[in-house]
């Protein structure tokens, strides 16, 4: 077969290959290598130029160069078409437009209130301590002047794990742990979760959060307790809030009191939330009972002090006007987005 016939055969075979070209990645590159590679069909034709008569070589060389140029142009054209189609797919995208918004999370309202309360007491010189959520009967009850069969145990429905191990019902157990290992003066707050076996309702839940405070030193007075908590209330609810203390009973304090603030919703005028009284209860407090000091080997004749405790959920409900405590644990983003 003459070289002229071979050139025509290569051109025809190239056209056939283009017609059957698949869309698979690399198919065009395979054709390029087949015809234009160093050992491709076009290169082999150039090798055969030595067998052509000298007077015909210029014309034959021109025909071969045209074949190479045509094949190169066809392949490059197909490659540019793929690139153009890729560009056209993204040509209508406006990269200056803002992206889709990504919803940002927020700190849970209970955590927000907890952190705010802690910051207030830190400014007053209190330190933060933490204790175990699973504790013994001694630390949760007996060391706090609540022995077995004491009527005060009926005030707290307890989750018992064993006869002597339980889920703590208040963070007062942390105060006992701390006093056992530290000598006075003591000025601490103990935040954390507590558990009580209560029916779920708009006002009660089986777990909630508390912050309890303790200050022990020589010659601590009830007036200092009132001054501390009055400052706390004004920092949390505003400088115009009013406070009052009512006599109450707690086994681990004597005397004991409950603290109220003027209703932050009706400004003390009386509304449905404060039951028309103009006051809202926010915490319990009192002077530490001498029996508690004996449990931790403190001399009750030398040391005096006060303690207080508050529920974070109640503070958050008052601060944000939330009517149902269960919303804090629902995980409903519609509720949480408000904070």
Whether pLDDT at 85 is above 80: no
% of the chain beyond a pLDDT of 70: 93
Determine the pLDDT at residue 303.
95
Cβ 261 vs Cβ 224: under 8 Å: no
> pLDDT of 213-262, one tens digit each?
999 999 999 999 999 999 999 999 889 899 999 999 999 999 999 999 99
Cβ 69 vs Cβ 12: under 8 Å: no
**Which architecture, in CATH terms, is 109-336?**
2-Layer Sandwich (3.30)
Cβ 116 vs Cβ 335: under 8 Å: no
DSSP label of 43: H
CA distances from 196 to 106, 209, 241, 247, 322 (A): 28, 11, 31, 25, 21
Domain extents for the chain?
Answer: 3-89, 109-336
Take residue 260 and report the two structure tokens written for it: 């109220």
Q: What count of other Cβ atoms lies within 10 Å of the Cβ of residue 227?
A: 12
326's CB contacts (< 8 A; 6+ apart) are 200, 201, 202, 205
Whether pLDDT at 27 is above 60: yes
Cβ 226 vs Cβ 308: under 8 Å: no
Report the SS3 class of residue 181. helix
DSSP label of 42: H
Using CA atoms, how far apart are residues 216 and 303, in angstroms rounded to an integer? Answer: 7
Using CA atoms, how far apart are residues 257 and 71, in angstroms rounded to an integer? Answer: 99
Using CA atoms, how far apart are residues 291 and 297, in angstroms rounded to an integer? Answer: 10
Helices (H), 133-289: 137-140, 172-181, 222-237
Determine the pLDDT at residue 66.
85
Report the SS3 class of residue 79. helix
User: What are the φ and ψ backbone dihedral angles of 11, each rounded to 5 degrees?
Assistant: -65, -45
Whether pLDDT at 26 is above 90: no
Which of 100-104, 132-136, 163-167, 236-240 has the highest mean predicted lDDT (pLDDT)?
A: 132-136
CA distances from 91 to 84, 86, 95, 96 (A): 10, 9, 10, 13
Using CA atoms, how far apart are residues 65 and 47, in angstroms rounded to an integer? Answer: 13
Using CA atoms, how far apart are residues 122 and 322, in angstroms rounded to an integer? Answer: 27
Which of 17-31, 172-186, 313-327 has the highest mean predicted lDDT (pLDDT)?
A: 172-186
37's CB contacts (< 8 A; 6+ apart) are 43
């Amino acid at each position: 077969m003459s070289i002229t016939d071979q050139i025509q055969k290569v051109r025809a075979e190239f056209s056939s290959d283009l017609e059957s070209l698949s869309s698979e990645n690399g198919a065009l590159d395979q054709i390029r290598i087949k015809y234009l590679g160093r050992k491709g069909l076009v290169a082999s034709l150039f090798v055969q130029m030595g067998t052509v008569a000298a007077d015909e070589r210029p014309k034959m060389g021109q025909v071969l160069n045209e074949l190479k140029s045509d094949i190169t142009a066809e392949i490059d054209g197909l490659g540019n078409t793929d690139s153009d189609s890729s560009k056209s797919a993204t040509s209508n995208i406006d990269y200056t437009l803002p992206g889709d918004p990504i919803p940002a999370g927020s700190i849970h309202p209970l955590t927000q209130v907890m952190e705010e309360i802690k910051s207030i007491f830190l400014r007053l010189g209190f330190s933060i301590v933490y204790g175990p959520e699973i504790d013994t009967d001694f630390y949760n009850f007996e060391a706090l002047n609540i022995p077995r069969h004491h009527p005060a145990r009926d005030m707290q429905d307890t989750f018992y794990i064993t006869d002597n191990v339980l889920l703590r019902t208040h963070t007062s157990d942390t105060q006992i742990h701390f006093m056992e290992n530290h000598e006075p003066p003591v000025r601490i707050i103990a935040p954390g979760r507590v558990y009580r076996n209560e029916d779920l309702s708009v006002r009660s839940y089986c777990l909630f959060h508390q912050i309890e405070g303790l200050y022990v030193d020589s010659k601590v007075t009830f007036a200092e307790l009132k001054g501390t908590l009055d400052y706390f209330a004004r920092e949390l609810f505003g400088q115009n809030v009013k406070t009052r203390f009512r006599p109450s009973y707690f086994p681990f304090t004597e005397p004991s009191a409950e603290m109220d603030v003027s209703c932050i919703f009706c400004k003390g005028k009386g509304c449905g939330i404060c039951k028309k009284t103009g006051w809202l209860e926010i915490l319990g407090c009192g002077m530490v009972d001498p029996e508690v000091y004996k449990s931790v080997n403190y001399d009750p004749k030398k040391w005096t002090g006060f303690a207080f405790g508050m529920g974070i959920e109640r503070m958050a409900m008052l601060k944000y006007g939330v009517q149902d405590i269960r919303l804090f644990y629902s995980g409903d983003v519609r509720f949480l987005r408000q904070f």
